[in-house]
Chain A
Amino acid sequence: MTHRFTLPTELELEELIIQVFENMTSADQSRLSVIESRLLHKAQRKKEINLNKTPWWIVLLLVGGFATAAWWADKLFFEEQNVEITKDLPVSDGNIEARESSMNSTESYKYESENNNESYEDSESPIIYQRESF
Chain B
Amino acid sequence: MGTMQNLAKNLLEQYCKNADNTAFSKFYRLEATRLWQFLRNRGCNEAGAYDLLSETFLKFIQVVCKDLRSPVALLYRIAINSHIDQFRRDKASPIDKIDIDVEQQAEEETEFQDEKEYLQSVIKNLPQDEQNLLFMRYRVGLTHKEIASMMDLPEGTVRRQGASIINKLKQQWQDDVNDA
Instruction: Say whether, besides A16-B116, A36-B25, A27 and B123 are in contact (CB < 8 Å).
Output: no
On whether the beta carbons of A5 and B33 are closer than 8 Å, the reply is no
On whether the beta carbons of A27 and B24 are closer than 8 Å, the reply is no
Instruction: Count residues of A near B (Cβ-Cβ below 8 Å).
Output: 35
Q: Is A42 an interface residue (CB 8 A)?
A: yes
Segment at the B interface, from A43-51, A66-74, A93-101: A43-51
Nearest Cβ on chain B to A22's Cβ, whole angstroms: 7
On whether the beta carbons of A17 and B61 are closer than 8 Å, the reply is no
On whether the beta carbons of B177 and A24 are closer than 8 Å, the reply is no
Q: Is B54 an interface residue (CB 8 A)?
A: yes
On whether the beta carbons of A43 and B24 are closer than 8 Å, the reply is yes
Secondary structure of the B side of the interface?
helix
For A5, what are the chain B residues with a Cβ–Cβ distance below 8 Å? 112, 115, 118, 173, 177
Task: Report Cα–Cα, A4/B173, bound state, in Å.
Answer: 10
Choose from A4, A7, A20, A38 the contact partner of B54 (Cβ within 8 Å): A38
Nearest Cβ on chain A to B147's Cβ, whole angstroms: 15
For A42, what are the chain B residues with a Cβ–Cβ distance below 8 Å? 58, 61
Instruction: Say whether, besides A4-B177, A23-B116, A32 and B57 are in contact (CB < 8 Å).
Output: no
Task: Report Cα–Cα, A70/B93, bound state, in Å.
Answer: 70
For A22, what are the chain B residues with a Cβ–Cβ distance below 8 Å? 139
Instruction: Say whether, besides A17-B134, A18-B139, A2 and B36 are in contact (CB < 8 Å).
Output: no
On whether the beta carbons of B169 and A20 are closer than 8 Å, the reply is no
On whether the beta carbons of A3 and B176 are closer than 8 Å, the reply is yes
For A116, what are the chain B residues with a Cβ–Cβ distance below 8 Å? none
Q: Is B145 an interface residue (CB 8 A)?
A: no
Q: Is A40 an interface residue (CB 8 A)?
A: yes
Interface pairs (6), CB distance under 8 Å = A4-B180, A17-B138, A21-B37, A25-B40, A27-B33, A36-B25
